[in-house]
Structure 1
Amino acid sequence: MMGGTQPDFEFERRFFVSHPPQDLLKGSDPNVIVQTYFLAEDGYALRVRLQATAFQGDLPLSSEGKSVIETLEDSFDLCMLTVKGPMVGGTRYEAERELDIGIGIEMCLRGGKTLVKKRYGVWLDEDGWVIDLFCTPNAPLVIAECERTGPVTDLAIPSFCTIEVTDDARFSNDSLVHNPYSTWVESFQSELRNRNHDYMGGFGDNSLSSL
Structure 2
Amino acid sequence: MAIEIERKYLVSNDKFKSLSHKATRITQGYLNSDKARTVRVRVMGEQGFLTIKGLSNQAGLSRFEWEKEISVSEAQELLKLCEPGVIDKTRYLVEYQHQVFEVDEFYGDNQGLIVAELEIATEQQTVSKPDWLGDEVTGDNRYYNSTLMKTPYTQWV
TM-score of the aligned structures, taking structure 2 as reference length: 0.89
2:79 counterpart (84, 104, 108)? 108
2:67 counterpart (73, 87, 96)? 96
Count residues in correspondence.
Answer: 153
- Superposition RMSD on alpha carbons, in Å? 1.7
Deviation by residue 1:65-95 (Cα, 9 ceiling, x = unmatched)? xxxxxxxxxxxx2111111112223111111
User: Which residue is equivalent to 1:45?
Assistant: 38
CA distance in 1, matches of 2:127, 2:22: 26
Aligned 8 A contact 1:12 1:152 in 2? no
User: Which residue is equivalent to 2:130?
Assistant: 158
User: Which residue is equivalent to 1:80?
Assistant: 49
Aligned 8 A contact 1:123 1:129 in 2? yes
2:18 counterpart (16, 23, 26)? 23
Larger radius of gyration: 1
5 Å matches for 1:45-194?
45-52=38-45, 77-88=46-57, 89=59, 90-112=61-83, 113-151=85-123, 153-185=125-157
CA distance in 2, matches of 1:155, 1:111: 35
Q: For structure 1, which runs of at least 5 residues remain unmatched after alignment?
A: 1-6, 53-76, 186-211
Percent of aligned positions that are identical? 29
TM-score of the aligned structures, taking structure 1 as reference length: 0.67
Tell me whether 33-42 or 144-153 shows the greater mean CA deviation.
144-153
Quote the offset at 1:41 in angstroms.
Answer: 2.3
Distance 1:48 1:31, change over 3 A: same
CA distance in 1, matches of 2:148, 2:42: 15
2:4 counterpart (10, 32, 39)? 10
Amino acid at match of 1:34: T
CA distance in 2, matches of 1:155, 1:29: 21
